[in-house]
Chains A and B, each alone.
Chain A
Amino acid sequence: MIKSATKVTAWKVWITRFALLAALLAAWQIAADSSKVTRFFVGTPLRVGEVIYEWFASGEIYYHLAITLIETLLAFFLGAGLALVVGLWLALNAFWSAVLDPFIKAINTMPRLILAPIFAVWFGLGIWSKVALGITIVFFIVFFNVYQGIKEVSPVLLANVRMLGANRVQLIRRVYIPSALSWVFSSLHLSVGMAFVGAVIGEYLGSAAGVGYLILQAESTFDIDVVLAGIVVLTIFALFLDMLVTKIESWLLGWRADRG
């Protein structure tokens, strides 16, 4: 019932959305045109559009997007990989899990963005300081999911696979890891998103390339239009990344009931 109701009015929703967007942009443009002061503070949508067009026309933006993307992917894969190993180890080792518990809680509670300047000193202004920042964020998201995924493996499932002849190593490979991965996959949106945030914030706090760097530069010359253009590009890029994750997710989790 609900589904068919939305289907009927889908085109209305889209038209209203475009109308709303157009109205917002128009209001913005009118406000900007009203005085030089407002223009300085909020820029104008036309100028922002121009900047974006120039970036893509000249191809300048692709280099920066590529850098941000590489940082995001490196942070995600390294952070998730590390979290998988550590999560697996601690979930299966009660002693070390108990020993490290307060440390993990402390590091997780710490606002980790504050580490960015330290990483800049350690790893320089290149991509690795951004990757390091991304890892510290991604690691904990994935780690807690892996830990949970392993703790929640049904004892009946384990007993069944043991009865079918699995030894300890096979149990880890055939039951624990798939179970942990399914939890990691279901937090893919969050962890990829946070890897992206880590990369951009890292760039913004000190870098030589990337979309965050473009914003940083524009801000230092008070060029609000370029700052906003950078934000728009980042937003579109993040949406694109999220769509990609959705595709990958439905492919990886095809076996799950809630994704018929």
Chain B
Amino acid sequence: MDAGRPMQPAIDLKAVTCTFGERGGVEPYIAVRDASLTLADGEFISIVGPTGCGKSTLLNVAAGLLDPTSGSARTFGTPIAGINRHAAYMFQADALLPWLTARDNVSLGLELQGVGKAEAAERSEAWLRRVGLGAHGHKYPHQLSGGMKKRVALAQVLVIEPRILLMDEPFSALDVQTRQLMENELLEIWSAEKKSVLFVTHDLEEAISLSDRVIVLSAGPATRPVAEFVIDIARPRDVTEIIHSQRYLEIHKLIWNELKEEVLKSYRRSLDVAP
């Protein structure tokens, strides 16, 4: 049995529910209810859904930053307790340490894990070059443009060689051109390194052009996956080209039909709540 055991999924969430503010005396807020999700090893999944629907909550559970109120979360077969050591997390907001240079930001993860100085320097330098910042290692974050900061952040999480990459709207703050460049680079790195990627975005275009599968979440609160689409567009892909293909348009229409309803629901709810 053991020898022929199939590969364990990189992330396996079963009936995960996350509730906030239970002890505060106020009515508890159910962010996610009964959500199940499986990320196969080497797979690229995008999660789309209306704004504020708890996409990041699922990502935080996968990262081990948040314990689900109920349900189980596993990574490569073992329950996630504390930080998920197989995973690296790329945040939507700027998460570089402002007092460290780009080079030191990238080597931080290696140093924290006890890798020797010389080796850490060598590996982070290699990653800086790979994201096109070989000449900018000595600069502090405030001296870098938005796109460059994202590159440093990408190098920072990839240098520790995680098996899973969790990304929370990482490129949402970038302009369209820079963003497409970054998406292509991400795809290149992903296919070369064979990581498993869980990518949260509110941008359907981005989700389709990057992923193997797109999962649509319902409007919050009590979010859960409502639909799932396999993106059968051949790889390697170029995100600037793919959006003109016939298949892309078909898929886009299919998913949008599903997503539209949730977005409208979420919109109506936000109007109800507003004073």
Contacts and interface: CB of A to CB of B under 8 A. Distances in A.
Interface string A176-215: 0011001000000000000000000000000000000000
A160 B99 contact: no
A112 interface: no
Contacts of A159: 63, 65, 89, 91, 95
Interface string B97-114: 111110000001100110
Contacts of B93: 154, 156
Given A156-B91, A159-B95, A255-B99, A164 B142 contact: no
A178 B63 CA distance: 25
Interface residues of A, number: 21
Contacts, number: 62
A59 B100 CA distance: 45
A256 interface: yes
A175 B97 contact: yes
Nearest to B162: A163
A191 B87 CA distance: 43
Interface in A212-260: 254-257
Interface string B218-251: 0000000000000000000000000000000000
Interface in A140-162: 154, 156-157, 159-162
B58 interface: no
B133 interface: no
Contacts of B39: none
A72 to B, nearest CB: 27
B62 to A, nearest CB: 11
Given A165-B113, A165-B160, A254-B140, A160 B91 contact: yes
A27 to B, nearest CB: 49
Nearest to B98: A255
B83 A163 contact: yes
A170 B89 contact: no
B156 interface: yes
B109 A165 contact: yes
Between B87, B112, B113, B157, the greatest number of chain A beta carbons within 10 A of the residue's beta carbon is seen for: B112
Contacts of A165: 83, 85, 109, 112-113, 160
B65 A178 contact: no
B96 to A, nearest CB: 8
Given A174-B108, A174-B112, A163 B87 contact: yes
Interface in A68-102: none
Interface in A100-159: 154, 156-157, 159
Interface of B: 63, 65, 83, 85, 87-89, 91, 93-95, 97-101, 108-109, 112-113, 140-142, 156-157, 160
Q: 4 tightest A-B contacts by CB?
A: A257-B142, A160-B95, A164-B109, A255-B140
18 contacts: A154-B93, A156-B95, A157-B97, A160-B91, A160-B95, A164-B109, A164-B160, A165-B83, A165-B85, A165-B113, A165-B160, A174-B97, A174-B108, A178-B97, A179-B99, A182-B99, A255-B98, A256-B98
